Structure 1
Amino acid sequence: MTPRLVFDASDIVGESAVYDERRDALVWVDIGGKRIHRLALAERRHEAWPAPDFPTSIGLRADGGAIVGLRDRVALWEYGDEFRTLAIVEPDLPDNRLNEGRVGPDGAFWVGTMQNNLAADGAAKAMTRDSGAIYRIDRSGQVSQLTPREFGITNTMAWTDDGRFLTADTTRNAIYAYDLCSGLLVNKRLFATPLDRGAPDGSCLDTGGFLWNCRVAGGACVARFRPDGGLDRLVELPCTWPTSCVFGAPGFATLYVTSARFTMTAEHLTAHPEEGALFAIDFLGRGRPEHRFG
């Protein structure tokens, strides 16, 4: 169960890892680097494409393409082709941007927003308010707001077998649970006790209903929470800012973890060149296939 380096991506903010079992490939974004990765696992073949704006999340489509969250919009994308806008999110809040995004069990693309913390060149910009919310975008491009605009940084999207939706607010070091009722989110409450190990970023569920959560901002680990929200274990990582995770490879038996080098000093990166890489850990459990848009 020792983490191993799979690909030295040097991502500024690697995020939104998904596993495409049809291609046996991992797909993820580098938000600050404005690029999208795909790594064919068996062949170790890596491809990368530039994005026209900050790509914040990516999901798989039923027809084989991808759906991508950009800074202010959600777009349909064929790998290497142009981005076709499906929906613009929060046009009344130009200083917000999209962050987390994932295809839900309903076949829609769910996205979270936040105050934009990135300058045009990808450098850090100060945040001054909590104005993020969670939205649902269906195949027609209709946007439905599911929560008030009360999040600092939206992260984590997971749908449990018993009808709960799990999500996180990184700035509050909190993971929440909602009940899903006729497509609406109700009864928000704390899911897991805040940890003194970084803050919550991206997550995935395994077949046992355990939530695997990356602990960003110095957490240097992935935390596994039981279905009742109790902490089950910590898996240490060689990177300090793990950002997203997904089970992949045949059998969904390997946990892949992206990471970031955002705001890190040149001295730190010289001493820790693995920051921003893609890692893998075997024998932790088994994951679930991704839902597909449409």
Structure 2
Amino acid sequence: MDIERIVAEPAKLGESPVWSVAEQKLYWVDIDGRALHRFDPSSGRDENWPMPEEIGCIATRRDHRMLLALRNGFANFDPRTGDLVRLLDPEADKPDNRFNDGTTDSKGRFWAGTMRMGPPGERPEGAFYRLDADLGCHRMIDGFWTTNGLAFSPDGRTLYMSDSNAKVRTVWAFDYDPDAGVPSNRRVFVDTRGMAGRPDGGACDADGCYWMAGIGGGELVRFTPAGAIDRTIRVPCRTPTKIAFGGRGLDVIYMTSLQKAGEEPDPLAGCLFAITGTGVTGVEVPPFAG
């Protein structure tokens, strides 16, 4: 196994890596740096586009545009022209909230969660939303401090999500109806309070195992569908945020990370990494269907 730093310029808050099968490139974001990035592994070039506000998560589209979940709602962005077209803002009444983590289900619906910026309030103010192909937006589940961990099993019938808040540190699993887009039977998948890191971004591999970026613990953790720890990979920084499977064989693990100030030196924090030789492959994350 090899872990390589592939983008040395640290992001303030690297997140939401998404592999474009059509382009064979990796899209990712710098939330606090307000930028969309695209890394080309064939050239080693990383390009970026500034955003007008924090950009939490993204999804590819079939027409080479990107679907963005920004601080102020959803938007389409065309990297070829730089045009950004706003769509809708489901939390226009909550100016202190922004979108955080997101992914698509097997039908191409976009799931994305919100969170309060800055210090937590007196109660959890985040929620998970589902954006359909016709741009119908549905508030699905409330009561989260820091929405994270969204991922779907390879058959599309299990939905995972988490709350990274230090008081919660929990990953949940749901039964999921891919046709209706509705989760049910919520249960605790993993309680991470005995682990080194809190649950940040999630992803599922081709074996149906769930991968958690253990932020603060410097590790990626693979869980079986039953919630048992199957494998732990120590990474070169304490703050991994999310992974995506990429490469032609979907056998490269790309990992984003957070640059934190005011703590012990962590010189590689915020960089983008590629992990090869794990013997694990991923599944394609569908483009947004809209």
TM-score with structure 2 setting the length: 0.92
Aligned length: 281
| 42-51 or 95-104: bigger deviation | 95-104
> How far did 1:127 drift?
4.2
Q: Any conservation in 2 of the 1:174–1:190 contact (CA below 8 Å)?
A: yes
TM-score with structure 1 setting the length: 0.91
1:95 corresponds to? 96
> How far did 1:193 drift?
3.3
| 274-283 or 100-109: bigger deviation | 100-109
> How far did 1:126 drift?
4.7
Q: Any conservation in 1 of the 2:34–2:54 contact (CA below 8 Å)?
A: yes
Match runs of 1:228-247 below 5 Å:
228-247=226-245
Pairwise CA RMSD of aligned residues? 1.5
SS in 1 for 2:249: helix
2:130 corresponds to? 136
> How far did 1:165 drift?
0.6
2:70 corresponds to? 70
Name the structure where strand makes up a greater proportion of residues.
Answer: 2
Q: Any conservation in 2 of the 1:115–1:129 contact (CA below 8 Å)?
A: no
Match runs of 1:22-171 below 5 Å:
22-79=22-79, 80-117=81-118, 125-147=119-141, 149-160=142-153, 161=155, 163-171=157-165
2:271 corresponds to? 277
Cα gap change, 1:176 to 1:85, in 2 (>3 Å): same
The residue type paired with residue 199 of structure 2 is: P
2:288 corresponds to? 293
Q: Whole-Å Cα distance in 1 between the matches of residues 44 and 188 of structure 2?
A: 40
| 24-33 or 94-103: bigger deviation | 94-103
Q: Whole-Å Cα distance in 2 between the matches of residues 183 and 27 of structure 1?
A: 25
Moved over 3 A (4+): 125-128
1:121 corresponds to? none
The residue type paired with residue 12 of structure 1 is: K
> How far did 1:157 drift?
1.3
Q: Any conservation in 1 of the 2:106–2:156 contact (CA below 8 Å)?
A: no
Name the structure where helix makes up a greater proportion of residues.
Answer: 1
The residue type paired with residue 98 of structure 1 is: F
Cα gap change, 1:115 to 1:272, in 2 (>3 Å): closer
Decide which of 238, 248, 251 is 1:250's aligned counterpart. 248
Q: Which runs of 5+ in 1 are unaligned?
A: 118-124
1:184 corresponds to? 182
